[in-house]
C-alpha cells in the first residue's frame, strides 16, 4: 500500500491527498511533522518537508513530483488535460500555486498559526504588501476563469493545487470577495462541493480537534523552516532585515540541501 508522509495542515500534502482521492487510490498516512515522527521523516527526506510518498522501495519527494508519478502510474482519471496547450496551462498554474501563492500566504500568516507560540507582531507593512499581492493574484485567476468552470476547462491539477492555498484565506481573514472576483468565487464553491474535498476537510477538522487543543503542542512551536520561494518573496518586498533577525535569533531554519 502507498504510504503518504504528510501533515493535515500542509497545503502541499493536501494537494496530494486530493489527487489520491480523485484517483481513488488507497493509502496510509503518517503525520510526519509531529514531534515524535520528524526524525523518521528526515531519514527519507533530509529537508524534513512533506509530502513524501513511499511506494514499495520507491520514495517520491515533493508534491509536484508525487502528482506526476501518480499520473504516470494511474493515468485514469487524468489530472492533466489531453491537449499540449492545456497541459502547459495546468503546469503553469500548479507552479504559480506552489511558488508565488504559497509564499505570499505563508509569509503573512505566521502570526495566525495555532502551532506557533509567537508574541511579536509582523514587521510594519508586511500584511499590507501581502494583501496587495494576494488581490493581484486573485484578479489574474479571476480573469483566467472567465467562461470556464475550471482553470483548464475540466478539473485538473491546476485546480487541486490552487484550492488548498485559497481555502486558507477565510481563516486568515482574507475571504474571497464574490463581487470583486465572481469567477473565483463560483470556482471555489464548485470545488468545495466535491466529495474528495469534503472528505479531506473532515480529516483536517478531526486532526485540528485532536492536535491543536490543549497546552502541549504536537509540533515545533518556535522555529520555522524557510524554503527558497518564501524567502524570495520576503526579500523582493524589502523584508530581508527582519528575516535575517529571525535567522540570527534561531527562529528561522533553512532546510538541508542533501
pLDDT tens-digit series, residues 185-216: 999 999 999 999 999 999 999 999 999 887 77
- Model confidence, pTM: 0.97
pLDDT at 172 over 90: no
pLDDT the model gives residue 174: 85
Q: Which residues contact 192 (CB under 8 A, 6 or more apart)?
A: 167, 198
| Structural Rg of the chain based on CA atoms | 18
pLDDT the model gives residue 21: 98
What element of type H or E holds 61?
strand 58-61
pLDDT at 60 over 90: yes
User: Range with the lowest mean pLDDT among 61-70, 140-149, 204-213?
Assistant: 204-213
CB 33 within 8 A of CB 39: no
**Domains, the chain, with CATH or none:** 2-73 (3.40.30.10), 84-211 (1.20.1050.10)
Share of the chain above pLDDT 90, in %: 92
Hey, how many other C-beta atoms are within 10 angstroms of the C-beta on 144? 17
Among all chains, which residue has been given the C-alpha cell 483548464?
152
Where do runs of H (alpha helix) occur along the chain? 11-22, 38-44, 63-73, 84-96, 102-109, 126-144, 157-166, 182-192, 195-211, 228-236, 240-248
Q: Residue 175 — pLDDT band, cuts 50, 70, 90?
A: confident
Amino acid at each position: 500500500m502507498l504510504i503518504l508522509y504528510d501533515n493535515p495542515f500542509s497545503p502541499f500534502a493536501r494537494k496530494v491527498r486530493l489527487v489520491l482521492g480523485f484517483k481513488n487510490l488507497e493509502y496510509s498516512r503518517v503525520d510526519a511533522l509531529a514531534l515524535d515522527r520528524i526524525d523518521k521523516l528526515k531519514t527519507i527526506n533530509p529537508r524534513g518537508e512533506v509530502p513524501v510518498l513511499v511506494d514499495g522501495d520507491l520514495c517520491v519527494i515533493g508534491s509536484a513530483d508525487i502528482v506526476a508519478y501518480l499520473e504516470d502510474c494511474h493515468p485514469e482519471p487524468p489530472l492533466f488535460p489531453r491537449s499540449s496547450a492545456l497541459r502547459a496551462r495546468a503546469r503553469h498554474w500548479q507552479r504559480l500555486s506552489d511558488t508565488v501563492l504559497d509564499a505570499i500566504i505563508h509569509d503573512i500568516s505566521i502570526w495566525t498559526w495555532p502551532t506557533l507560540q509567537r508574541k511579536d507582531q509582523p514587521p510594519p507593512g508586511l500584511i499590507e504588501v501581502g494583501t496587495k499581492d494576494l488581490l493581484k493574484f486573485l484578479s489574474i485567476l479571476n480573469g483566467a476563469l472567465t467562461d470556464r468552470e475550471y482553470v483548464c476547462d475540466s478539473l485538473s491539477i491546476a485546480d487541486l493545487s490552487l484550492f488548498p492555498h485559497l481555502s486558507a484565506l477565510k481563516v486568515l481573514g482574507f475571504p474571497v470577495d464574490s463581487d470583486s472576483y465572481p469567477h473565483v468565487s463560483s470556482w471555489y464553491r464548485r470545488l468545495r462541493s466535491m466529495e474528495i474535498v469534503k472528505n479531506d476537510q473532515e480529516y483536517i477538522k478531526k486532526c485540528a480537534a485532536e492536535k491543536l487543543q490543549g497546552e502541549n503542542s504536537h509540533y515545533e512551536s518556535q522555529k520555522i523552516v524557510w524554503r527558497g520561494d518564501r524567502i524570495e518573496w520576503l526579500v523582493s518586498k524589502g523584508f530581508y532585515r527582519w528575516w535575517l533577525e529571525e535567522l540570527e535569533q534561531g527562529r528561522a531554519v533553512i532546510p538541508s540541501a542533501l
